[in-house]
């Protein structure tokens, strides 16, 4: 099965095609490796697992891990490419259309990596995570840090993102459902981080005319769709081959206080009451 490499649904086979693709892959790997300390010997849920490579990575640590996604093609790809006795995948409906098929308190840990920004109404999604977590269970969540991607008033320039969050706003939302919310930032050495910062600065200014707050959503998405199509055509004319780069996961880090970060990484717990 061939799964389209959109930039949102990461596919391991494509991660070495450019420095930017490789860096995005490393950001994902940093988040999954961070989560290892919370899933050891436990029952875990990867809610929004995409192509499944990260879910499979954690299977070695878990009692059992389940990857779920609303995209059937992603689940089919994951099931074909990543298999283990304690690993399963399942297609689910969006949380806004009904509960996910697990009983209350079924999981010790829930992972939600780069999902929240895609959801218009996050309340059903977070409610479902809380419901399937056992009391005292942990949510590990990552989402882009809008502070380095967008102007304060700007809508997302990523066509698939509905809303991006500041650290303060993310904390406010999570604290409505969970306790002991701790939000850290993901960054890296300047020479490596600048690859991503340069990309996001370009897109921030390039898309500004149609990502202003008062621009109707149909215009924003229409213009972004045109830009995406032009970029896809440009890349199709470039010879794509696997490359080696002079940076790796050791050049990235997670810290509670960074001057520049690309992602927010939250740890929150379900209360006992």
Phi and psi for 266 in degrees, rounded to 5?
-105, 145
Question: CA–CA distance from 63 to each of 50, 60, 84, 178 (Å)?
Answer: 21, 8, 11, 24
> Mean pLDDT of successive 10-residue segments in the chain (273 residues)?
50 74 92 96 97 95 97 94 96 96 97 96 97 98 96 95 96 97 96 94 95 95 93 71 82 93 97 88
Provide the token pair at 2.
């061939």
- Residue ranges of domains in the chain, CATH in brackets: 12-269 (3.40.50.150)
Q: What integer pLDDT is reported at residue 2 of this predicted model? A: 44
Q: What integer pLDDT is reported at residue 32 of this predicted model? A: 96
Full-model pTM: 0.91
Q: What integer pLDDT is reported at residue 232 of this predicted model? A: 81
Question: Do 50 and 9 touch, CB atoms closer than 8 A?
Answer: yes
């Amino acid at each position: 099965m061939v799964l389209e490499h959109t930039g949102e649904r990461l596919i391991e086979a494509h991660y070495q095609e450019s420095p930017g693709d490789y860096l995005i892959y490393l950001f994902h790997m940093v988040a999954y490796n961070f989560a290892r300390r919370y899933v050891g010997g436990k029952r875990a849920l990867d809610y929004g697992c995409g192509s499944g490579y990260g879910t499979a990575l954690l299977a070695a640590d878990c009692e059992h891990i389940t990857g779920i996604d609303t995209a059937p093609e992603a689940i089919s790809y994951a099931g074909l490419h990543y298999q283990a006795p304690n690993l399963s995948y399942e297609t689910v409906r969006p949380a806004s259309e009904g509960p996910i098929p697990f009983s209350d308190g079924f999981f010790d840990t829930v992972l939600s990596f780069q999902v929240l920004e895609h959801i218009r109404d996050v309340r059903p999604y977070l409610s479902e995570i809380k419901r399937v977590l056992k009391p005292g269970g942990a949510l590990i969540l990552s989402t882009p840090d809008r502070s380095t991607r967008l102007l304060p008033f700007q809508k997302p320039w990523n066509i698939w993102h509905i809303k991006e969050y500041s650290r303060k706003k993310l904390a406010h939302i999570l604290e409505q459902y969970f306790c002991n919310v701790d939000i850290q930032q993901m960054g890296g050495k300047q020479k490596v981080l600048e690859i991503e910062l340069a990309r996001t600065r370009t897109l921030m200014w390039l898309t500004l005319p149609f990502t202003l707050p008062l621009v109707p959503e149909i215009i924003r998405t229409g213009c972004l769709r045109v830009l995406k199509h032009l970029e896809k055509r440009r890349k199709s004319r470039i010879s794509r081959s696997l490359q080696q780069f002079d940076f790796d996961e050791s050049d990235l880090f997670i810290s509670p206080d960074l001057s520049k970060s690309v992602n927010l990484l939250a740890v929150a717990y379900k209360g006992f009451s």
